Amino acid sequence: MQLNKVLKKKILIDKAFTIILICAMIIYLVPIISIIYETVSRGLPALNLDFFTKPIPTAGEEGGGIANAIQGTVISIALASLIGIPVGILSGIFLSEYRELKITSFIRFINEVFHGIPSIIIGLFSFVLISKRIGFSVLAASFSLALIMIPIVTIVTQESLKMVPATIREAAFSLGIPKWKTTIFIVLRGAWQGIVTGILLSIGRIIGESAPILVTMGFYRWWFSGLDRPVSNMALNIFIFAMSPFQNWVRLAWGTALVLLVLVLLLNIIPRLMMLRREVRYE
């Protein structure tokens, strides 16, 4: 009799926690689904050929598109990647393969702290370092985005290299292969999928950043004319156009938001598919 009471109590508690978890999941999903629905329903009507091929219109002008904003975003992300990806990968290699050094733990701590710094502060740092000297520019914006990328790529590279079995390194050392060759030609080859995952996730993080862009490059709706000049940017356009009294700019803001939403979803789905493929391969 006593056993039945204890069993019923445990079943009741289990059901109660199950209901709580389901409610928590619903609370979590409702705003996400609402954001996706609102963005798709408002942004989809704005998408057409002109949207992707024509430049941003002037205030009050009808039509137009975001062609120069797409160009500016691609250039900014590409330049940020050229700076951030090599530095992040090399930093991750150092933290993983030379962790016996005393300075490694300090660098790891600094990297973790840097990863949590708000993007607006990074933007202000880039503004003081670059923008105050050469003015608002693609270079300053890309530098601030690269600083956001570096900790992400570093952490993922470090963790990916840790997943490579130590026996592989030992086998290479036993054959007389130097450590640097072992790291570059053997260990990195075993961790490349994880590193690519980190790179894609870091790009997904910076592609929607507007705060550092606003501080380092400002709002600009023209085409690219040099690294020392500003250029239009998709994320910043959303921020500026959404507050505009002009309906055409608001329409472009929703269309741009939808494009960025799709890009961010793809940049998050592709790494997960790669990780799934990697797990199946090792099984």
Give the tokens for residue 207: 């592609």
pLDDT digits (tens, 9 = 90+) for 173-228: 777 778 777 778 878 777 787 888 888 888 888 888 888 888 888 777 778 888 88
Output the pLDDT for position 282. Answer: 46
Domain boundary assignment for the chain: 2-46, 63-234
pLDDT band at 278 (very low <50, low <70, confident <90, very high): low
Closest CA to 89 of 30, 44, 145, 150: 150
Measured N-to-C along each axis, helices 138-162 and 119-126 cross at an angle, to the nearest 10 degrees, of 130
What's the start-to-end Cα distance of the chain, in Å?
Answer: 47
**What does pTM read for this prediction?**
0.82
Output the pLDDT for position 79. Answer: 92
Q: Which CATH number fits domain 63-234: 2.40.110.10, 1.10.1060.10, 3.40.640.10, 1.10.3720.10?
A: 1.10.3720.10
pLDDT digits (tens, 9 = 90+) for 89-103: 988 888 888 877 778
What burial letters (b/e) apply to 165-191, b meaning 16+ CB within 10 Å?
eeeebeebeeeeeeeeebbeeebbeeb
